[in-house]
Chains A and B, each alone.
Chain A
Amino acid sequence: MKVKVIIVLFLFASTAWLFIGAVDNGPDPYKPKYIKLDVPKGWPKPAKDIFKDNPLTEQGFQLGKKLFYDGRLSKDGNFACASCHQQFAAFATYDHDFSHGFKDQFTTRNAPGIFNLAWTPLLHWDGGINHIEVQPLAPLTAPNEMAENIDSVLKKLRKDTAYPKLFKAAFGSNLINSQRMLKALAQFTGSIVSYSSKYDKVQRGEAFFTPAEQKGYDFFKIKCAGCHTEPLFTDNSFRNNGMAINPQLKDFGRMRITTDKNDSLKFKVPSLRNITLTFPYMHDGRFYSIGQAIDHYRTGIVTTQPTLDTALKNRIAINNAEKNNLIYFLYTLTDTTLAKSNRYR
């Protein structure tokens, strides 16, 4: 009897050795909680899977969130990602044309909101960033923004008492490198999905537009949706919407990336979601109200620019009543759930 027990034990132990003997999981086996990107009903599938080489986990998301709010990613400790990307402003900079950076410097473009990035193939106003994981490198190293360098940030994180454990929980070992830091940040920012505005509730049959909102929506679908395409309210294209060039900034937009003259003065069509939170508007934040932005399309477009979008050659005819209705409709794109969710803070 005893012999049998010993044999069974031996068989069990040796089988275990055979199968898992070579894999060293350390004292705490890596057991991340895999999570899924929120893809709202009726939305298109993201064109490319931003998490293909970066499996989304709760631990990765939480690490990314901590990094996003950590000032140590900047040179002087003052500028976390979140200092320019404020949740209450749908992760844009509230009420600022340009954001503030290291030593009282300004950025040279208006900080866009961060949401629905899984549906955004190219980031930045000029589309210069081709993958969500490498985006943080731009603000992190820009001398007028976070003014840091990667090695220095990684040193700070390695010295910290909490980060090594969080990296281990997210990625299986306490190795802290740029790839893991960037992947964690991407897990956080890429998971921010905005789909709980009144507009979304109306689409789901959970709410109704007022008559003015409905009129504004009907008008929007005819005059604006060509570029600000539902449900993301952008077609992610680059277009020149006929704004006079700022002689100090001399920002030619997309042309800097493609070196193609035909891309001169083209900027990414921004999503209109959360528009009441993300003011001021346009790549240089020149318009502080929605009314001013609409007036630009009515009367302000510089029609002599050769790269002006063809849809705007004759400006857009919008009367005052239509403008008011349009504003009522645009108000319905505000997602207070996103702006207040504890998940993101």
Chain B
Amino acid sequence: MVARPVKILLLFIIILVCTQYSTAQRTSTLRTKTGTIKITFVHTINEAPLVLDSMEYVNPFDEPYRISKLKYYISNIAVKHLKKSFAEPESYHLIDEADAASLSFNFDAPANNYSSISFTIGVDSIKNISGAQSGALDPANGMFWTWNSGYIFFKLEGSSTSSTLINNKIEYHIGGFAAPNNALKRVTLQMPDNTLLLVQAGKTCEIIIAADINKLWQADNNLKIAETPATMTPGAVAIKIANNYSRMFTIKELLTPYSP
């Protein structure tokens, strides 16, 4: 027969192993019920891919321009179908054309079919008034106004011979989270051709979102470079431009789920 203390020891080991096992089990069940959504942004002008600095483009008013910098925030992403929806937690992404790694990112969502995706261009007001942030919202990323606390939601810089500014600069720094200068824009995109985004357990599905930069000058409002070569403060012009760029996103392609 086994001695009593040894029995207690054995019992304890069993309990210990079971507890650890069930914890591991719980996380793995969670894992099997979620899939990964990968979002990729591609920037185009007149259907050609954006190339910084070296390429010259023409806007809808036949004004030539080059882009040297394109950065913007995509935040609070949510996917939805009928009554089911899922919002990415702590959802802040800084898209920077000069940093290829920033153009794609992943997050996990419950396995489901989704018919639409929505996101904010910019950073919600709470994060604008809550002090120093980190990660995508680190002020060191150059997307924060130091003299008028708040994030720059969207930054496009470059040059155009139509610009009257020094060195033919064009510079649009769009931000402003408080009324009446609120330039936050919410975009909702339906999956194309009545298809659904298939998020399958343990697999990755991909959405490729195209952004047509020329919409910045012509969508809801007409904005000629000759008249508005720059704006760097919250206000009416920033809101007009924000309205325009909120129209530039379309879903270009959905890639069916694949195993990573």
Cross-interface CB contact of A133 among B20, B131, B235, cutoff 8 Å: B131
Given the known inter-chain contacts A7-B8, A179-B134, please indicate yes or no for A134 contacting B139, CB distance below 8 A: yes
Q: A177-B134, A183-B132 are in contact. Are A7 and B5 (CB under 8 A)?
A: yes
Assess the B16–A14 pair: CB atoms within 8 A.
Answer: yes
Residues A259 and B235 in contact in the complex (CB < 8 Å), given A54-B131, A130-B129, A183-B131: yes
A316 beta carbon closer than 8 Å to chain B: no
Complex Cα spacing A140 to B147, Å:
11
Asked if residues A7 and B149 are in contact (CB atoms below 8 Å), the reply is no
Taking the complex as formed, is B249 at the interface, i.e. its CB lies under 8 A from any CB of chain A? no
A-contacting residues, B130-175, CB 8 Å: 130-134, 138-140, 144, 146-150
A18 at the interface (CB under 8 A from B): yes
Asked whether any CB of chain A lies closer than 8 Å to the CB of B9, the reply is: yes
- Asked if A4 contacts B5 (CB within 8 A), the reply is yes
The closest CB in chain A to the CB of B3 belongs to: A3
Choose among A133, A149, A186 the residue with the greatest number of B CB atoms under 10 Å from its CB: A133
A220 to B16 CA separation, bound complex (whole angstroms): 72
Let me know if A134 and B132 touch, CB within 8 A. Answer: yes
Chain A minimum-CB-distance residue to B20: A18
For A151, the chain B residues whose CB sits under 8 A away are 140
- B5 adjacent to A130 (CB under 8 Å): no
- Tell yes or no: B104 within 8 A of A by CB: no
Report B177 CB to chain A, min CB distance, Å. Answer: 10
Asked if A293 CB lies within 8 Å of chain B CBs, one says no
Task: List chain A residues, Cβ under 8 A from B139.
Answer: 134, 137, 150, 178, 182
A11 to B13, CA, bound (A): 9
CB pair A182–B5 under 8 Å, yes or no, is no
* Interface members, chain B 1-38 (any A CB < 8 Å): 3, 5-6, 8-9, 12-13, 16, 19-20
Chain A proximity of B258: nearest CB distance (Å): 32
Task: Please judge, given known A-B contacts A18-B19, A259-B233, whether A3 and B132 are in contact too, CB under 8 Å.
Answer: no
Is the Cβ of A131 less than 8 Å from the Cβ of B181? Answer: no
Contact with A along B211-251 (1 / 0, CB 8 A): 00000000000000000000001110000000000000000
* CB-contacts of A218-263 with B (<8 A): 256-257, 259
Determine whether A106 belongs to the interface, using a CB cutoff of 8 Å to chain B.
no
A142 touches B234 (CB 8 A): no
Interface residue? B128 (CB, 8 A):
yes
In the complex, chain A residues whose CB is within 8 Å of the CB of B6 = 3, 7
CB–CB A150/B140 < 8 A:
yes
- Could you tell me if B19 and A141 are in contact, using CB atoms closer than 8 angstroms? no
Residues of A within 8 A of B16 (CB): 14, 18
Q: Chain A contact residues (Cβ within 8 angstroms of B): what range?
A: 35 or more
Known: A131-B130, A133-B131. A138 touches B5 (CB 8 A): no
Q: Mark A127-158, 1 if CB is under 8 A from B, else 0.
A: 01111111001101110000001110010000
Contact A179 B138 (CB under 8 A): yes
**Least CB distance, A3 to chain B, in whole angstroms:** 5
For the complex, give the distance between the alpha carbons of A309 and B128 in Å: 30
B122 → chain A, closest Cβ, in Å?
Answer: 16
Enumerate A106-138 residues with CB–CB distance to B below 8 Å: 124, 128-134, 137-138
Q: A153 to chain B: closest CB distance in Å?
A: 9
B5 with A179: CB separation less than 8 A: no
Q: Does A24 contact B (CB under 8 A)?
A: no
Q: How far is the CA of A14 from the CA of B138 in the complex (A)?
A: 41
Cβ-defined partner of A131 (8 Å) among B5, B19, B131: B131
Which residues 3-39 in A have Cβ within 8 Å of B in the complex?
A: 3-4, 7, 10-11, 14, 18
**Of A50, A130, A183, the contact of B149 (CB 8 Å cutoff):** A130
Say whether A53 faces chain B, with CB atoms less than 8 Å apart: yes
- Chain B: minimal CB distance from A188 (Å): 14
A10 touches B132 (CB 8 A): no
Whether B144 contacts A137 by the Cβ 8 Å rule is yes
Looking at the assembled complex, report how far the CB atom of A165 sits from the nearest CB atom of chain B, in whole angstroms. Answer: 21
- Distance (whole angstroms) from the CB of B126 to the closest CB of chain A: 11
| Contacts A3-B6, A7-B9, A259-B233 given; does A129 touch B131 at CB 8 Å | no
Interface residues of chain A, those whose CB is within 8 Å of chain B, are 3-4, 7, 10-11, 14, 18, 50, 53-54, 124, 128-134, 137-138, 140-142, 149-151, 154, 177-179, 182-183, 186, 256-257, 259
**5 A-B contacts, Cβ less than 8 Å apart?**
A137-B139, A141-B146, A177-B140, A178-B138, A259-B235
| Ranked 3 nearest A-B pairs via Cβ | A133-B131, A182-B132, A150-B140
Extra 17 A-B pairs, beta carbons < 8 Å, given A14-B13, A128-B148: A7-B8, A7-B9, A53-B131, A128-B149, A129-B149, A131-B131, A133-B132, A137-B146, A138-B147, A154-B140, A177-B134, A177-B140, A178-B132, A179-B138, A256-B148, A257-B148, A259-B234
